């Protein structure tokens, strides 16, 4: 009796269900074409039982759900009401950015990851949806913008609510619900 071995390899987005960081599309799940049927008809096989090379069947892994949308909301901090993502991570603006244009290069992005998402970023509690926009970056990625400020994280913020990037280099500040930078220090 011959024994067929079916190996299934799953790839997981390194960013999990949270935001992707960086100016490119790295870490974004690739679009997958539907699998053709083994009879060559092009009809997609239903999820569940899939034929193996020897004619036996094996259970295919379920299709991954689409990446969840990310939202921007407000939270209270020692600096006042500020913008955070749906995980409570503080969002910052960079004073060298221009309205609708990010000026954070690759060295900058390594420390100040841009808020990018495979799906549109949505306005959450306490925010003004008319202030939330996106700008196109390279490789099809889009960065969230609130008011005039492209939004960034700071790698030195370890937990939700941290504001360790506030005022760094006199260029990085948290963003208020009205879309303005809060330039006081923690």
pLDDT digits (tens, 9 = 90+) for 74-90: 999 999 999 999 999 99
Quick one: how far is CA 174 from the chain centroid? 19
Q: Which residues pair with 174 in a beta bridge?
A: 92, 182
Check whether 163 has a pLDDT greater than 50: yes
Of 133, 75, 141, residue with least CA distance to 114: 141
pLDDT for position 185:
67
pLDDT for position 3:
36
Average pLDDT over residues 48-53: 53
Check whether 35 has a pLDDT greater than 60: no
Radius of gyration of the chain (CA): 22
Q: Chain-wide mean pLDDT for the chain?
A: 75
Average pLDDT over residues 114-134: 93
For the entire predicted model, the pTM comes to 0.65
Of 14, 20, 16, 10, residue with least CA distance to 118: 20
pLDDT for position 64:
55
pLDDT for position 119:
82
Higher pLDDT, 110 or 138: 110
The band of 41, judged by pLDDT with boundaries at 50, 70 and 90, is very low
């Amino acid at each position: 009796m011959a024994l067929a071995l079916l190996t299934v390899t799953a790839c997981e987005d390194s960013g999990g269900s949270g935001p992707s960081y960086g100016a490119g599309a790295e870490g974004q799940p690739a679009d997958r074409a539907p699998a053709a049927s083994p009879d060559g008809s092009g009809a997609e096989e239903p999820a569940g039982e899939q034929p193996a090379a020897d004619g036996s069947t094996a259970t295919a892994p379920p299709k991954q759900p689409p990446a969840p949308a990310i939202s921007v909301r407000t939270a209270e901090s020692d600096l006042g009401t500020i913008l955070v993502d749906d995980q409570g991570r503080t969002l910052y603006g960079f004073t060298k950015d221009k309205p609708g244009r990010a000026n954070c290069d690759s060295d900058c992005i390594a420390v100040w990851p841009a808020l990018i998402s495979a799906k549109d970023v949505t306005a959450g509690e306490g925010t003004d949806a008319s202030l939330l926009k996106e700008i196109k970056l390279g490789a099809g990625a889009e960065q969230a913008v609130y008011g005039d400020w492209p939004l960034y994280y700071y790698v030195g913020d370890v937990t939700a609510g941290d504001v360790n990037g506030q005022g760094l280099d006199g260029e990085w500040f948290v963003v208020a619900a009205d879309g303005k930078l809060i330039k006081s220090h923690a």
